């Protein structure tokens, strides 16, 4: 198997060499020893331009130049070497200067001096005192109530937050991941490969499908400029979204679905592809479980299987295995019917080979696509053909005799998959989604009918984004969309679903801080106590995060046990579930500690707060594209941090050291520089040399740096997918087996994992289910609350709950807006700019009316995670406008537990003096102080940057 991979590498050497010459050297210059400290040491009259990676929003890793004059950052602009962001950066990036030099930055450790029934009062503490206080309280709670009484909550954007609860042995981590990439990435890990929801947009797919997101406004799944250029160049641009996005105005097809009905569109597209024979017959036979035989009336059988996350589970399925037919047969030999030989044969998942098959040298060619100028095209492996004597059947019924002597009928999985999507005709999907049947069919045909059939792959993947995870059946929704890439033949092809960048440096999540998962991840047996695994057993399978809703519930009522301490590392209580319920939960904790840049609502509830560094100030680490862009770069320190603010990984390192926990068995107390060096060991002898090379030559193209792992397409043909797989990310060794990271090594249309965990078969195949409180699922509630609300749209100047205190941003977008169709607004007596109440069965808030024909009548679109830094009070006024006050916290996806935070019913009515606190329609703080809702508000001037006296 290894031999085959080496042959693939050799076939790519000439391409890699040519690309390296075009891009500049990819090796690290051994002799360059520019000290990182020199980059930020101010000298009179000095001006420096520092190349780095922006962290102003999301995880796109846009490349930027920061101009530093006399030690002070004065400008942020795009880096022309950053092909992944097209040399551009957005408004949030440029406003980062106002964030770094903001007068309200947290600068020193703070310890609370009063109770949580009043506005917080603080005293400044030393790092030693504050860390020891946290350790003391954690030890007390662990010793008295057990380690599981401590939970962690982590957020996004800064990326560097490192969770602490594992230091006391707790398995209870609450992560935004549960509603933010988690369903997409983890479902991929169960049915094909981890984190393959991303597509290679920078490779300019011929047809661009933008599903449930607006990355032209906020860099998350992609870069703003990259999205715009991709859509502009595409022959066909398709948008699937209940709201017309900014870029959607230019789309060829807008599928303006009823909120929460995405899966019905995906299943309809699958139906259209099958009806028009647009699927790749060879691919379905060779690389999916389509030809595997199912025996519907036999008892499920299987074997112990490793989830890839360190958990062993009992795989049980009704798909036929050699072990079902003969004593001593292998449970990993999956039976199929051979049309040519008119007999049973098998695929052996322990070897990656079909019966009688031998390894063959792979062939291929340089990929052809409209690649961004200056990046390597990559090597496209030719599809492997079957031995002429084998032709797995996709249709038919076959008689089989099990080892107990009973005779049964078997049929291919492919037939069941076809049956599972049969009802989702364009007409039926139109009834569900509200989209015209003709548009549903034509848009699918435009995407799935190959414009360049001679290339042997489709027109591009699907960029399905965050909105698909925010509904009551997120798992099946993202699975139904993900399956389309296999049907259309665009999985790991140019412009197709390429997944998260595989790079030789630790630059994806927390940089180097999680080098030792033993002190940050729960042990496998801890899944027994992890909150939520009884309700959502898949959480035990992935063993990464507890259910957030159930964890807040445990803070409230002690079920299954009481959580008494919370460690918040940039995470907040507003992002999923019901914000009001979650807030009450954290106020009742025995102890809470947090790390952040600001006194956010969550930080105001803490007993200890630590100050974090801004991205302009952090010490430096490698950065790689989270998505499919294949960019490798670095984060560099540009300016000094204010006061005593520290980088999150450094805070974690100090905490580990003071607790006496060995960071590594052979290096119990590594220095920050040692950890930096470790993070780039795959490319350079030291981070100092890595950073110097980056400063001189810019971003690396991972296709050149790693031609096998990233520079090759159709990596399921070569073994590279499993060589560095989702298990490898977590420290579980990979292998070189050809295929996908599933028990069958195939892209599973029928999921063996979901069949094993849900024995009733309800999730064997992708399905559509109505949102929990839709007009169809809950008509009585929708009669009282007649408007269907969607939430969470992207805003050019904000990222989730961030940047509300930056004048450049707040001036552009002073107050939260809810988009209402003008016809609906007229019926309700609402005019543009009116403050309105948005009320559900579970809560109500106010936002300003923004009349917009881009949402359908009786549909509205609200903004999320609003809070008000200008209010000097506990909670910072989040309850005034945060739309998650209106969420039903118990409406959860049955697979991953993701809460239904979009697609729920509300009523909207005008806020008046008579129905508003303080007789003021404008939301006010506890003392009647109005929030900032006008760009001319003089309070914005109080937030102007402070360049002097930052100490």
Alpha-carbon distance of 442 to 906, in angstroms, equals: 33
Tokens of 401: 């005799």
Q: Residues 59, 92, 181, 550: which is the catalytic one? A: 92
Residue 839: partners with Cβ closer than 8 Å, 6 or more residues away:
785, 886, 906, 907, 908, 909
What does DSSP assign to residue 232? H
Alpha-carbon distance of 543 to 547, in angstroms, equals: 11
Hey, how many other C-beta atoms are within 10 angstroms of the C-beta on 344? 17
Tell me the β-bridge partners of 264.
none
Alpha-carbon distance of 102 to 652, in angstroms, equals: 25
Please name the helix (run of DSSP H) or strand (run of DSSP E) that holds residue 433, with its range, or none: helix 426-433
3-state SS of 69-107 is ECCEEEEEEECCCCHHHCCCCCHHHHCHHHHHCCCCCCC
How many CA atoms lie within 13 Å of 239's alpha carbon, on the beta-carbon side?
22
92 an active-site residue?
yes
Alpha-carbon distance of 436 to 441, in angstroms, equals: 9
Give Cα separations from 76 to 58, 68, 400 (angstroms): 17, 9, 68
Alpha-carbon distance of 872 to 894, in angstroms, equals: 40
Tokens of 348: 């052996």
Alpha-carbon distance of 820 to 854, in angstroms, equals: 9
Give Cα separations from 655 to 645, 671, 860 (angstroms): 15, 13, 46
Alpha-carbon distance of 317 to 320, in angstroms, equals: 8
Residue 949: partners with Cβ closer than 8 Å, 6 or more residues away:
none
Alpha-carbon distance of 918 to 577, in angstroms, equals: 29
Residue 342: partners with Cβ closer than 8 Å, 6 or more residues away:
none
Q: Is 627 helix (H, G, I), strand (E, B) or coil?
A: coil
Q: What are phi and psi of 571, to 5 degrees?
A: -80, 155
Cβ(591)–Cβ(565) below 8 Å: yes
Cβ(55)–Cβ(157) below 8 Å: yes
Where b means 16+ CB within 10 Å and e means fewer, 674-712 reads: bbbbbbbeebbebbbbbbbbbbeebbbbbbbbbbbbbbb
Residue 60: partners with Cβ closer than 8 Å, 6 or more residues away:
84, 85, 219, 220, 221, 222, 223, 625, 626, 627
Alpha-carbon distance of 831 to 808, in angstroms, equals: 27
Please name the helix (run of DSSP H) or strand (run of DSSP E) that holds residue 587, with its range, or none: helix 579-587
Residue with token string 């193209």:
701
The string of DSSP codes covering 344-405 is: EEEEETTTTEETT-------EEE--S-PPTTS---EEEPPPPPPTT--B-SS--EEEE-TTS
Give Cα separations from 557 to 175, 235, 589, 891 (angstroms): 21, 56, 11, 19
What does DSSP assign to residue 899? B
Alpha-carbon distance of 512 to 801, in angstroms, equals: 26
- H runs (alpha helix) in 600-751: 648-659, 672-679, 687-697, 702-705, 720-723, 726-729
Catalytic residues: 92
């Amino acid at each position: 198997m290894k031999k085959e991979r080496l042959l693939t590498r050799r076939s790519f050497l000439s391409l890699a060499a040519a690309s390296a010459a075009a891009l500049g050297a990819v090796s690290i210059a051994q002799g360059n020893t520019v000290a990182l400290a020199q980059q930020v040491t101010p000298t009179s009259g000095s001006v420096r331009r520092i190349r780095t990676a922006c962290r102003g929003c999301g995880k796109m890793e846009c490349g930027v130049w920061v101009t530093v004059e006399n030690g002070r950052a004065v400008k942020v602009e795009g880096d022309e070497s950053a092909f992944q962001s097209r040399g551009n950066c957005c408004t949030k990036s440029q406003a980062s200067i106002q964030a770094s030099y903001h007068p309200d930055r947290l600068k020193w450790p703070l310890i609370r001096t009063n109770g949580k029934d009043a506005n917080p009062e603080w005293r400044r503490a030393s790092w030693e005192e504050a860390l020891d206080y946290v350790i003391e309280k954690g030890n007390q709670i662990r010793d008295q109530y057990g380690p599981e009484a401590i939970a962690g909550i982590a957020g996004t954007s800064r990326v560097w937050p490192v969770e602490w609860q594992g230091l006391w042995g707790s398995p209870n981590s609450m992560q935004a991941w549960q509603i933010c990439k988690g369903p997409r990435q983890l479902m991929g890990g169960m049915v094909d490969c981890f984190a393959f929801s991303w597509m290679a947009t920078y490779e300019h797919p011929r047809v661009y499908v933008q599903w449930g997101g607006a990355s032209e406004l906020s860099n998350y799944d992609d870069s703003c400029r990259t999205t715009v250029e991709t859509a502009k160049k595409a022959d066909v641009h398709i948008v699937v979204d209940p709201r017309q996005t900014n870029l959607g105005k230019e789309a060829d097809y807008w599928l303006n679905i009823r909120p929460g009905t995405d899966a019905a569109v995906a299943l309809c597209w699958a139906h259209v592809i099958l009806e028009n024979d647009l699927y790749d017959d060879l691919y379905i036979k060779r690389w999916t479980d389509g030809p595997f035989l199912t025996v519907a009336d036999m008892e499920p059988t299987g074997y112990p299987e490793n989830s890839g996350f360190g958990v062993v589970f009992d795989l049980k399925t009704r798909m036929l295995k050699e072990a079902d037919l003969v004593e001593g047969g292998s449970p990993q030999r999956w039976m199929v019917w051979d049309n040519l030989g008119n007999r049973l044969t098998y695929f052996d998942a322990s070897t990656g080979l079909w019966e009688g098959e031998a390894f063959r040298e792979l062939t291929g060619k340089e990929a052809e696509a409209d690649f961004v100028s200056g990046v390597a095209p990559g090597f496209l492996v030719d599809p492997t053909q079957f031995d002429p004597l084998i032709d797995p059947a996709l249709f038919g019924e076959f008689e089989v005799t099990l080892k107990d002597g009973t005779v049964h009928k078997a049929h291919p999985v492919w037939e069941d998959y076809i049956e599972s999507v049969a009802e989702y005709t364009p007409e039926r999907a139109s009834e569900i989604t509200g989209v015209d049947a003709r548009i549903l069919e034509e848009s699918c045909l435009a995407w799935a009918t190959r414009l360049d059939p001679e290339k042997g792959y489709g027109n591009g993947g699907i960029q399905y984004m965050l909105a698909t995870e925010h509904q009551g059946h997120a798992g099946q929704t993202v699975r139904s969309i993900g399956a389309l890439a296999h049907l259309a033949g665009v999985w790991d092809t140019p412009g197709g679903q390429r997944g998260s960048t595989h790079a030789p440096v630790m630059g994806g999540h927390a940089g180097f801080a999680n080098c030792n998962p033993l002190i940050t991840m729960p042990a496998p047996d801890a899944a027994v106590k992890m909150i939520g695994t009884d309700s959502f057993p898949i959480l035990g399978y992935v063993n990464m995060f507890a259910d957030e809703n159930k964890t807040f519930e445990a803070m409230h009522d002690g079920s299954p046990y009481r959580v008494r301490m919370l460690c918040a590392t940039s995470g907040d209580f507003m992002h999923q579930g019901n914000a009001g319920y979650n807030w009450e939960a954290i106020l009742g904790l025995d102890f809470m500690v947090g790390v952040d840049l600001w006194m956010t609502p969550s930080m105001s509830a803490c007993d200890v707060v630590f100050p974090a560094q801004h991205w302009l100030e952090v010490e430096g680490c490698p950065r790689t594209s989270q998505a499919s862009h294949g960019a490798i770069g670095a984060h560099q320190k540009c300016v000094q941090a204010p006061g005593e603010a520290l980088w999150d990984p450094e805070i974690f390192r100090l905490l580990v050291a003071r607790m006496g926990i060995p960071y590594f068995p052979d290096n119990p107390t590594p220095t920050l520089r040692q950890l930096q060096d470790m993070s780039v060991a795959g490319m350079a002898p030291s981070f100092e040399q890595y950073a110097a090379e980056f400063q001189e030559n810019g971003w690396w193209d991972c296709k050149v740096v790693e031609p096998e792992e990233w520079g090759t397409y159709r990596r399921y043909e070569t073994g590279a997918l499993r060589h560095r797989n989702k298990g490898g990310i977590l420290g579980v060794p990979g292998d070189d087996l050809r295929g996908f990271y599933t028990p069958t090594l195939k892209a599973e249309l029928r999921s063996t994992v979901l069949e094993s965990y849900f024995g009733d078969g309800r999730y064997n195949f992708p399905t559509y289910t109505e949102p929990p409180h839709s007009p169809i699922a809950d008509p009585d509630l929708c009669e009282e609350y007649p408007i269907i609300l969607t939430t969470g749209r992207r805003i050019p100047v904000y990222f989730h709950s961030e940047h509300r205190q930056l004048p450049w941003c707040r001036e552009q977008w002073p107050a939260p807006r809810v988009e209402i169709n003008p016809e609906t607004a007229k019926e309700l007596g609402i005019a543009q700019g009116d403050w309105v109440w948005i009320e559900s069965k579970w809560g109500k808030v106010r936002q300003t009316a923004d009349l917009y024909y881009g949402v359908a009548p009786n549909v509205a679109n609200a903004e999320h995670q609003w809070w008000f830094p200008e209010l000097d009070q506990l909670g910072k006024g989040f309850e005034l406008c945060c739309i998650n006050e209106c969420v039903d916290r118990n409406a959860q996806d049955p697979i991953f537990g993701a809460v239904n935070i979009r697609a729920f019913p509300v009523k909207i009515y005008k806020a008046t003096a008579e129905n508003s606190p303080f007789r003021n329609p404008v939301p006010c703080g506890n003392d009647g102080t109005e929030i900032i809702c006008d760009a001319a508000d003089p309070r914005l001037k109080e937030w102007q940057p402070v360049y002097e006296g930052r100490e």
